[in-house]
């Protein structure tokens, strides 16, 4: 039986399905356990497996946590660029708001920028994230786990 194939987390890392170790892209086999192989280069990035979110040690696993994690992964959807821009903007404002006077000055400078410049800066950030292999997802539904 062939060794299991890992899955790409982003363009720079792949994850072992046996031990959940995150490996460098140039590694053919898992660095930690050696029990899995690197996925093909053309395989797309996949969201995490529910068990990856809570660990594989079954003696420590809360069945309810497994179910919540599985439901969260089932409800994940990739967000549109407009939604991603909005989420990044909210996060930036929230983060700067917690930084005191320096954050307030940065928020003021951002609010004085023309809308097109703010949009271009956020689009550039999203382009960088996507080029690095990071997908922006949201969990749909009202349940929070």
- Which pTM was predicted? 0.41
| Cα distances (angstroms) measured from residue 68 to each of 1, 77, 114 | 32, 16, 42
Q: Per-residue pLDDT tens, the chain, 145 aa: give them.
A: 577 888 888 878 888 888 878 888 889 999 988 989 999 988 888 766 655 555 455 555 566 776 777 677 666 676 777 887 888 888 888 888 888 888 888 888 888 889 888 888 888 888 887 777 666 776 665 544 3
Q: DSSP character for 114?
A: -
List the structure tokens of 134: 């990071």
Q: Distance between CA atoms of 101 and 135, rounded to whole angstroms?
A: 33
């Amino acid at each position: 039986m062939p060794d299991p194939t890992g899955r790409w987390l982003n363009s720079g890392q792949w994850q072992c399905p046996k031990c959940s170790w995150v490996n460098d892209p140039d590694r053919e086999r898992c660095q930690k356990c050696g029990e899995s192989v690197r996925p093909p280069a053309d395989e797309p990035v996949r969201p995490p497996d529910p068990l990856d979110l809570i660990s594989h040690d079954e003696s420590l696993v809360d069945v309810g946590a497994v179910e919540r994690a599985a439901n969260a992964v089932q409800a994940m959807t990739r967000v549109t660029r407009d939604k991603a821009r909005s989420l990044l903007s909210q996060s930036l404002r929230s983060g700067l708001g917690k930084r005191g006077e320096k954050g307030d000055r940065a928020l003021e400078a951002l609010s004085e920028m023309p809308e097109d410049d703010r949009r271009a800066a956020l689009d550039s950030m999203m382009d960088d994230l996507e080029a690095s292999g990071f997908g922006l997802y949201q969990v749909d539904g009202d349940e929070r786990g």
